[in-house]
A and B are shown apart, each in its own frame.
Chain A
Amino acid sequence: MSNEIGRPSESDSGAAPYNFGGVWVPSELEIARRAARRTRNTRNSIIAIFSSIVVIGGLALIAVTSPGWKSLSDTFFAWAYGVEVLPKIILGFGTNVTLTLIASTCVAILGLSIALIRTSRSPALAPFRILATLYVDIFRGIPMLLVILLVGFGIPALRIQGLTNNVLVLGTIAVIITYTAYVAEVIRSGILTIHPSQRAAARSLGLSHFQSLRYVVLPQAFRRVTPPLLNDLVALIKDTGLVSILGVTDAVRAAQIASSRSFNYTPYVMAAIIFLLVTIPLTRFTDRTLRRSIERQNATGVA
């Protein structure tokens, strides 16, 4: 492909770019076509709504009328108990949010650095390139739970003076280590998708290697990787729940404590709902961003 340049996107094909002087009145044919289109759209919506009610309502009915429904709802949906423990779970969720904010900031900075090191060609950086590749390979290949256990229990076991034993800090570090590896790869792949001719054009204008990256390559790369990065953010929010294994009282741990006290699993459901309240909107937002970015790429694709 001869890169980046293409025909104007769909959005302005509707508007007439030129004014031909006269006032345009739709023809009989066009009016009929529009009416037909409207009828078809209305019919489609009615069918969609009706079939949704039948299917979803049917499934709900089957669930509620089934013999196990009573004990199921007592165990998982004891709302009165759920509301009672809710403040503790919300308090715990504050830890997940804090951890997400701190971790995502660190991951963004470290991930970008590692992606830049891996895509650089400078001979001076050769050893760092090897180390960065090794790092990414290792931490993308280990279950995050293992990294959390290794860091959270392993580091205190060293009994090194001055090193923290705070499980929250250690848990955060473990999350950062793992996600930096993921994010570095995403950013690196974004950088690699920018056609070399863009860099050549920047360099031939006299921009230095660093300036070409800063003003030409990275801005385009970031646009392309925004959707996958948002996906990783959703995953990160969920995965902060894993640090509960170290004894950090996050939402998961708070739910676990509440549930083990009563042998009722509603607190877990409450915790799940709280996570969903954050992750679902973010997922929708990610979808929309992805759709936009695909549209943009189609609009500016092949020339």
Chain B
Amino acid sequence: MRLEIKDLHVHYGKIEAIKGVSVVVNEGEIVTLIGANGAGKTTMLKTISGLRPVTSGQIIFDGKDISKVPAHERVDLGISQAPEGRGIFPGMTVLENLEMGKFHRKNRKAEMQEDLEKVYHLFPRLKERVSQAGGTLSGGEQQMLAIGRALMTRPKVLLLDEPSMGLAPQMIANIFRIITEINKTGVTILLVEQNAQQALQRAHRAYILETGNIVKEAKASDLLNDPAVREAYLGTGAH
């Protein structure tokens, strides 16, 4: 299930947020997209999941151009996004949020229990809070719920938008460990992050996005040692 983005352009009104980006995510990989605030990371993910329309360019998934397919049908194809920040249903319980992930699955009845167990296994905290309203969870718990809910759709490619945002340091390490674990179960991952250190350690390959353009593409481990990258994104260039 290769995901290939070819010469993608995306606009907000007259403003061009993505200016001709090409990205490849191979089956089984963790690919990370790193960039500063406003670089266009969220826009990229929203365009891949179908929430934003494409101006021009192609999104090729499993050999087909899906750039005209509506978002809710891309879920059926196997693309699932855990939205940035608090993208959960605040008035639904944890369980109901997770159940929403099965909304459009044909075998939802049969799959439900099995997939709930899988999510609870990854995030034991969610199991303790099944009947708590999503909106009353802590920021970190909401993040777990957003990822868990995305997993309920049985994605082939999981799009994660800043999963470490607002988390305590030990929680960040934990989330990244879980991301690797999810990847090991065969889910391809496109990870958007500002926490470049952790993202580069976990990912196979990385792209650097600056104001709508890809300025660098390399193996993640290479970027970790790249002085320019260290300076700009790891804040350790001077050492």
Pairing of A with B:
no
